[in-house]
Amino acid sequence: MTKPTLKHGLWTARPPEEARALYAEWADSYDADLTEAGYATPRRLAAMLAAHLPARDAPILDFGCGTGLSGEALAAEGFAAIDGTDITPEMRARAEAKGVYRRLFLATPGEIPDLSDYAAIGAAGVISLGAAPPETLGALVAAMTPGTLLAFSYNDATLQARPYLDALADVQAEGRARLIAAEHGPHLPGQAGVEGSTVHLLCRLG
């Protein structure tokens, strides 16, 4: 596999095992590459969640935590009970080194962990082209308990992909979740096709 870079076809649908291999190879330089590119979505997502979840001791699952950039953003907002899960051992090892997680789990592609203990789920840059498939959104909502919040992002490329838009529409039309907030803003400034992202906040209904 060609070493992944921000310009090497990241935003395209791919099988879960291929995605896992890509991110495993990228783990060593992931933080440096995204920081240099001005990666803004984790901070924006954490701020939105903080605005709607006053209890900073509320348990949060960072779903698809990667190297822990999103966990650091949540911790910067004052959240103190953050767990993380990712399908890539190499990414998870780097997340553990950051020291912001209470617990870290290795996930299996296509499987959703037990979400019953969490007040909120964060998924920054996870449910998107090149990463988790669109059906992941419905599976997460189905596993959440009533009142649980789900903060997630769709980058500009994903916002042009009908299956992802349909997944968001479906969970609302079926009465499983209510959209509380949505805000478009910077994602990877200067990166053609994904300069921006929309951060969404859903609440699981009863």
pLDDT at position 59: 98
> How far is the CA of 98 from the CAs of 29, 43, 80, 88, in angstroms?
15, 16, 14, 16
pLDDT digits (tens, 9 = 90+) for 19-56: 777 777 888 888 998 988 899 999 999 999 999 999 99
Closest CA to 122 of 179, 204, 72, 63: 63
pLDDT number for residue 11: 66
Residue 156 pLDDT class (50, 70, 90 cuts): very high
Domain count, the chain: 1
Residue 1 lies in a domain: no
Kindly state whether residue 149 falls inside one of the protein's structural domains.
yes
Confidence of residue 64 (pLDDT cuts 50, 70, 90): very high
What is the CA 157 to chain-centroid distance, rounded? 15
Tell me which residue has tokens 């910067």: 76
Residues spanned by the domain of 147: 16-204
Is residue 151 included in any domain, yes or no? yes
Domain-located, residue 8: no
Domain harbouring 165, CATH code: 3.40.50.150
